[in-house]
A and B are shown apart, each in its own frame.
Chain A
Amino acid sequence: MIFLNAFLLSGVFCLIAQIILDNTKLTPGHITSIFTVLGAVLSFLGIYPKLISWAGAGATVQISNFGHMLYLSAVEGFHEMGILGFFSGLLVKSSAAITAAVVIAFVFSLVFKPKN
């Protein structure tokens, strides 16, 4: 049941992050960075693709998916173009998310006014 798996995986990731937040001095900035790196490490170990096939979007909505995408793109880039591929490939798969975030955030900051 992929919907249940998505719920569990996404929930457990957030639960771990919340426990780290409440019991250490790390800020949300630290934790999101750690999880991104963790995503790249899990991808390197071959675990992240398994999480995605087990939990579907439950794994791809997390920030750790960003690390996974970076790792995958760099490896694919290497297989296509050799050493240059590490540089030119790294951002290929995550480009959509970064572009969307940058463009949407900029447009909204023009259209809307901050609360205070």
Chain B
Amino acid sequence: MNKDEYQKLVEEFTPKEKKFKNAVLAFLVGGAIGIFGQVVVSIFVESFGMEMKEACVWLCILMIFIASLFTALGFFDNWVSKCKAGLFLPTTGFAHSITSSALDYRRDGFITGLGANFFKLAGSVILYGMVSAFFLSILGVIIYG
């Protein structure tokens, strides 16, 4: 095998392996967040006597707080670029996107910078979530009553 062939082979295999590594990492990190969430919810339910639904809302707020804090402290960006889907898909990603755009655009002023760009990344989630849920709920009410 000469050098060119070897190079070709390397190119063929490298992205795949990286994709595999990314997928495993996303699965493990995502799963870890799921377990963390369930542990927190169990603690809330058993120690604080909350209902399951209430505990889930507190969990959501707690995760947003943690993700925003880590983003503001500056190391969450690195985590997200390493773990990718494992961190941007859970609620942490929503909080991360809002906090990072708030931090980045503050220097452009409070209205034209921070205010105008606050929902830059999270806006699409809210927009498409609201529009789809609106029409689906009308459809749901028509079908299921």
Residue numbers of A with Cβ under 8 A of B are 2-3, 6-15, 17-19, 21-23, 28-29, 31-33, 35-37, 39-41, 43-44, 55-58, 60-63, 65-67, 70-71, 74-75, 78, 86, 90-91, 96-98, 100-102, 104-106, 108-115
Bound together, the chains give a CA A67 to CA B41 distance in angstroms of: 20
List B contacts of A63 (CB < 8 A). Answer: 89-91, 93-94, 125
List A contacts of B9 (CB < 8 A). Answer: none
**Contacts across chains A and B counted by CB atoms under 8 Å:** 248
Residue numbers of B with Cβ under 8 A of A are 19, 22-23, 25-35, 37-41, 52, 56-57, 59-61, 63-65, 68-69, 71-74, 77, 84-86, 88-91, 93-95, 97-99, 102-104, 106-107, 114, 118, 121-122, 124-130, 132-134, 136-141
Given A17-B88, A100-B65, output 17 extra A-B contacts at Cβ < 8 Å: A7-B34, A14-B31, A21-B22, A44-B139, A44-B140, A57-B59, A63-B89, A70-B129, A70-B134, A91-B130, A101-B122, A102-B98, A104-B99, A112-B103, A113-B103, A114-B103, A114-B106
